[in-house]
Amino acid sequence: MSDTDPSSDTLNDFASEPTSARRVVVLISGSGSNLQALIDEQTHERLGGEIVAVISNEPAAYGLIRAKEAGIDAVVLPHREYDSREAYDGALIKVIERHEPDLIVLAGFMRILTPRVVQRFLGRMLNIHPSLLPAYQGLNTHARALADGATEHGCSVHFVTEELDGGPVVIQAVVNVADGETESSLKEKVHAREHLIYPIAVKWCLEGRLQFTPGGATLDGMPLPPQGIRLSHADAAEELDEELDEELDEELDED
């Protein structure tokens, strides 16, 4: 048989190796409920990639247990063991890069990152914030919204830049503030929306649909508006199978 015999050529001989899954590193400080939402999507093969590591600055963070139970590398990097924020962030960069991520996801990571970290991963780092940015940047968002008598609140996924909670917004979800709303009840509603929209934004990134540009975020090559893609209260409630209080009240009145 000739060395050039075409019968020796098979599809298997030329089959390309499967493309490796896009890699995600998640940074946490606490319970990790948003991490769990991402793990759930990954479990059902809907995330578009693989969470390869979870890193926490708090050794007792419950999110580390969530990671271990899901078979994900759980890494503790306590910030109190470092003399300065710069020293800690230098170590954080090394740990992140060891896992060769395509995307870094902040899921309740309660530390302000130095410009060194932000610039190293610019365009590859997402955060979720419990307000409709640019409203209520920083902490205590639910209490501040209630104190102001806000009628709408919610959450936002955004790219991380050096401006605190100031990077381009990708997607938001609105919650109507009900009469008699408490900080606890509002927090619960916002959390449900966080768990809805964060996996969506992460999947867009991993699929290459969502991009960071100097002019802002783009989706499928189209510039996003300042508020990103915004889900109304009704749209989010429908996705979450929540009962719409207003509609229920109307039905009761009709009865």
Cα atoms in the Cβ-side hemisphere of radius 13 Å centred on 210:
27
The residues, ordered by sequence, that sit 6+ positions from 125 with a Cβ below 8 Å of its Cβ are 103, 104, 105, 106, 118, 159, 160
Instruction: Point out the catalytic residue in the list 79, 129, 195, 233.
Output: 129
Q: Is 129 a catalytic residue?
A: yes
β pairing state of 229-231 and 169-176 = parallel
The candidate with the shortest Cα–Cα distance to 26, out of 79, 73, 82, 71, is 73
- Partners of residue 225 on adjacent β-strands: none
Distance between CA 132 and CA 145 in Å, rounded?
A: 10
Beta strands 216-219 and 73-76, pairing class: unpaired
Cis peptide before 134 (omega within 30 of 0): yes
Cβ neighbors of 64 (< 8 A, separation 6 or more) are 28, 32, 54, 56, 74, 76
For residue 62, what are its two tokens?
């419950």
User: Which alpha helices (H) appear in the chain, and where do they start and end?
Assistant: 11-14, 33-43, 62-69, 85-98, 115-120, 141-147, 183-206, 233-239, 245-254
Catalytic residues: 129
